[in-house]
A and B are shown apart, each in its own frame.
Chain A
Amino acid sequence: MNNIILKNSIRFIILILVQTLVLNHINFLGYINPYIYVLFIILFPIKNNRLFFIFISFLLGLIVDLFLDSGGIHAAACVTIAYIRPMVLKFVFGMTYEHQTIKFSSTEFGQRFSYFSMIIFIHHIILFSLEIFNSSKIILILKKTLFSSIFTIILCLLITILFSRKKR
């Protein structure tokens, strides 16, 4: 149990630092940045206290907001995906989720991909609509959401593959 808490706390800190100090300076093609700190919410243990989970997600978003001077947009996006995560999990993994037995490292690639992309896409669309906050620029919002989501999904999948400990 302590092992899980320690692992998640380290992940929390490292993801925030990597996000704010490295990934926000990529600006691929001028505006495309990956937001991989959502990985913390995606990989958070499924057996959890839901209130605590929503609160820690809020904290994660708020700290990223602090670093990026962005008001509360990351916090809002994070709270929303933390709240709807059980529904997405149920939708993607079906029965196995009900029994709370899934481990992300042992799931099929297709399932993992659809779970990641749903969460990330929802996160990004909330993030960018709040950031731009202007209905006349809806094309810009969609463009940013699409390209940044693709970037984030690829990076997140690569990271999980890279850091998963498979015992052969």
Chain B
Amino acid sequence: MQQILNFLIKHKTFLLFLLLITISLFLTIQSHSYHKSKFINSANVLTGGVYEVTNNLSSYFNLKKENEILLEENNRLKSILYNVEMDTLKAVFKYPILSSQYKFKSARVTKNSYSATNNYLTINKGQRDSITQDLGVITSKGIIGIIDYTSKKYARVMSILNTNIRINAQLKKTNHFGSLTWDSESPQFVQLLDLPIQSPISVGDTIVTGGRSTIFPKGIYIGQVASFKIDDTENSYKVNVKLFNDMTNLGHVHVINNLDKSEISTLNSPDE
């Protein structure tokens, strides 16, 4: 017993070092798996609060740009509105509340990163605003990511610029789909893998979300095909997609809540 104690006292520095490095390696490895990094994230009171304060200041500098984006979107929506016959419009909006499957909430990005290999954003809405895990986040131009952890007032978003993310995506003109990943090379490009070789793809085609998952509705814009090649297995394409969104400059975002989500997921896993 005496010897063990002596050993512990003699090597206490090394043992402390070992303990602390094990904790940090544990946290690191945990953060590499989806939905596990509960302890270390920027959606807590301390870091979320600090980011909120600084973002309150810096968001003023982007007001002009934000206004332009809003105007652009208004223009687009108005051009749709006034180019459709009134009768069809009435038919569409006849049951506006009953038929709405998706609910939107706006939020502001208080922290953004795009240079690491696993990027996360922090937004200033949380459980208090009924935001939960696994909701989709988009802007008017395209998708941003998926909510990955929430606290009372803040939520962390796993950006599409994260090597752990997989999003179902498809060609706009046909229904061929693949999964969207990121190879951590450039914040402007993401990769669409496993797109079947039968799909009639060409440079400049638009890629949209697939709607096969419950997170994103079908048809939200992602980006344009920049280049593509046949991958090693020779039966699917690897497509380089240029994002419509400028991920380095994000202001306001929308969070999508799919109200039928629990219903769909119980359908898909009936035996559990």
Contact = CB atoms under 8 A, between A and B. Distances in A.
A76 B21 contact: yes
Contacts of B117: 131-133
Given A62-B40, A79-B24, A69 B17 contact: no
A30 B186 contact: yes
Interface string A20-52: 110010010011010000000000000000110
Interface stretch (A53-61, A109-117, A153-161): A53-61
Interface string B31-73: 1100001001110101100110010000000000000000000
A17 B49 CA distance: 13
A61 to B, nearest CB: 7
Interface stretch (B108-116, B214-222, B227-235): B108-116
A77 B126 CA distance: 31
Given A66-B47, A71-B28, A76-B28, A55 B115 contact: no
B40 A54 contact: no
A66 B27 contact: no
Interface in A104-133: 130-133
B13 A54 contact: yes
Given A51-B13, A62-B40, A69 B113 contact: yes
Interface string A130-150: 111100000010000000000
Interface residues on A, range: 20 to 34
B12 A76 contact: no
Contacts of A70: 28, 31, 40, 116, 118
Contact of B28 (A27, A30, A33, A72): A72
B81 interface: no
Interface residues on B, range: 35 or more
Contacts of B27: 65, 71-72, 75
Nearest to B14: A83
Interface of A is mostly: helix
Interface of B: 12-14, 16-17, 20-21, 23-32, 37, 40-42, 44, 46-47, 50-51, 54, 111, 113-118, 120, 122, 156, 184, 186-187, 248
Given A54-B13, A69-B120, 17 more contacts: A20-B50, A67-B50, A69-B122, A70-B28, A70-B116, A71-B28, A71-B29, A71-B30, A72-B23, A72-B31, A73-B28, A76-B24, A76-B25, A79-B24, A83-B14, A83-B17, A133-B28
Interface of A: 17, 20-21, 24, 27, 30-31, 33, 50-51, 54-55, 58, 61-62, 65-73, 75-76, 79-80, 83, 130-133, 140
29 contacts: A20-B50, A21-B54, A27-B114, A30-B115, A31-B115, A61-B24, A62-B24, A66-B41, A66-B42, A67-B42, A67-B50, A67-B111, A68-B42, A68-B113, A68-B116, A69-B42, A69-B118, A69-B122, A72-B24, A72-B28, A73-B24, A75-B20, A75-B23, A76-B25, A76-B28, A83-B13, A83-B14, A131-B116, A132-B184
Q: Which 3 A-B pairs have the closest CB atoms?
A: A71-B31, A72-B27, A72-B24
